Amino acid sequence: MGNHELFMQQALEQARKGLSEGGIPIGSVLVLDGEVVGRGHNQRVQRGSAIRHAEMDCLEEAGRLSAVDYKRSIIYSTLSPCDMCSGAILLYGIPHVVVGENQTFQGPEDYVRSRGVQVEILNNEECIRLMTEFIREKPQLWHEDIGE
């Protein structure tokens, strides 16, 4: 298993944790110099949050980092980052995003790439399965999360 898959497993752990809390199963980790410095999962249900998508929760948990740190980090997300999370990645100049899957939802990947960010899609089967089942079971909650 390569590094990307190993870190994606940690993002998946976060997604499963969210699901077990009754939440939306999306997880994320931020990696700096090969070490996880932030972990998070979607907190819409758990905290009644409109802004704590997985990537946002992960960045918040990582705390206040310096620009030089963000600029050599990699963010992993089990799902293609939405407009908000993509915007946070652009704000902080995170140069590399590894995405579990973009089959059940696709954020503005081309725009993010056009701003110089490397976006890699793993199409991890477990990521796809988690979201497919969740969207089937709780479509309303899912639509709320993506503003639909």
Residue numbers of the site for a copy of itself (CB under 8 A)?
A: 44, 48-52, 56, 59-60, 62-67, 70, 82-88, 90-93, 111, 143-144, 146-148
Respond yes or no: is residue 55 known to be catalytic.
yes
Q: Least distance to a copy of itself from the beta carbon of 30, Å?
A: 10
First to last CA, the chain: 36
* Closest distance of CB 64 from a copy of itself, Å: 6
d(CA 42, CA 56): 8
Please tell me the total number of residues recorded for the chain in this structure. 148
> Nearer Cβ to a copy of itself, position 93 or 104?
93
In Å, how far are 3, 14, 15, 68, 72 from 8, measured between CA atoms?
A: 8, 10, 10, 23, 18
Shortest Å distance, C-beta 34 to a copy of itself: 21
Residues 55, 126, 137, 144: which is the catalytic one? Answer: 55
Residue whose CB is less far from a copy of itself, 62 or 127: 62
- Angle formed by the axes of helices 3-20 and 54-62, nearest 10°: 100
Active-site residues, by number, are 55
